[in-house]
Amino acid sequence: MQIIKGISQFRQDCREPHVMSLGNFDGVHLGHRAILQATAAAAKRLGASSSALIFTPHPLQVLTPDRFPSLLITTEDRISLLGEAGIDYVIVQQFTKAFAGITAESFARVVLKEVLDVSGVVVGFDYTFGCHGSGTSADLLCFGEMLGFNVEVIPPVTVNNVPVSSSTIRVLLSSGKVEEAAEMLGYPFYLRGKVVHGDGRGRQLGFPTANLQVSYELVQPGHGVYFTSVMLAGRSFWGVANVGRRPTFCKGEPALEIHLLDTEGDFYDQELTVYFLKRIRNEVTFAGSAQLIEQINRDIDCARLLMP
């Protein structure tokens, strides 16, 4: 996979015919993967390359920053997952208000045909494009016929009769339903970040924790305690994670703390990835340390029962 910085650079690096996926691809979930698989298949039929066009920052972060949704994954992970799905070229286009002002017809005629010279385009059924999202997948079919490139529209992918979408996955995660979210993502939801110093409360209680600093742009699961798998320095561990405000000790700021099972060490400044596998319980306020310690032991016992 090759990463191209901007649409204007693309044809300098890719001169062969190509079929392009269009979409936001936040999470690269099962619905997105259906689009990407169709793109790779269409490219193979034509003897062409496959490509995907993504924007950074998220368009809503530019247009309506007060309603900007939390992201499921970082841009770097989005690019990586697009490559794993078989895409040959990922074009990362800077999204600006000026770019947002391009009309739907100009996007099809100038961007797709003149600049990118697509042989084909694959989109989801709910894809919109152009100023104020005025263009629809049906419009793109018409533009493709008029301008001479093929357009394939992928129908919704459902899990348990519910259409898969990034917004639905965000709702599931905010409710702590990490297993249902994983079914739609096609992989367990994860957060990656650097281990930073906390207040040492976990160690005082006898359960040392790694405090994870993650990007503020990323969604976090609903407050509670989770059974997790943890990747650290190329090694895998089981863990119990707490997401929340630690109300027993009147902590106001939300935090993500992970107690690694059957291992100890100094993990400060190391990168750690936490995969959320199952919610054990809600966040609860305890009368004091003794009750909290009893509950943590029960949480660990529960996690051990969940270990394969």
Task: Say what the pLDDT of residue 200 is.
Answer: 54
Report the 10 Å Cβ neighbour count for 228: 26
* Cα–Cα distance, 194 to 270 (Å, whole number): 6
Q: For 67-119, how does the pLDDT look when each residue is reduced to its tens digit (9 = 90+)?
A: 888 999 999 999 999 999 999 999 999 999 999 999 999 999 999 999 999 99
Domain ranges of the chain: 2-159, 190-306
Whole-prediction pTM: 0.91
* Model pLDDT, residue 249: 56
- Overall fold of domain 190-306: Elongation Factor Tu (Ef-tu); domain 3 (2.40.30)
CB 245 within 8 A of CB 253: yes
d(CA 182, CA 173): 9
C-alpha 33/C-alpha 282 separation (Å) is 32
With beta carbons less than 8 A apart as the criterion, state whether 55 and 25 touch: no
CATH architecture of 2-159: 3-Layer(aba) Sandwich (3.40)
Q: What is the pLDDT of residue 284?
A: 80
58, pLDDT greater than 90: no
pLDDT band at 198 (very low <50, low <70, confident <90, very high): low
Question: Can you tell me which residue has the tokens 């496959």?
Answer: 50
What's the rounded Cα separation, in Å, for the pair 60 and 6?
Answer: 19
Give dist(CA 67, CA 287) in Å, integer: 38
Whether 2-159 and 190-306 share one fold: the answer is: no
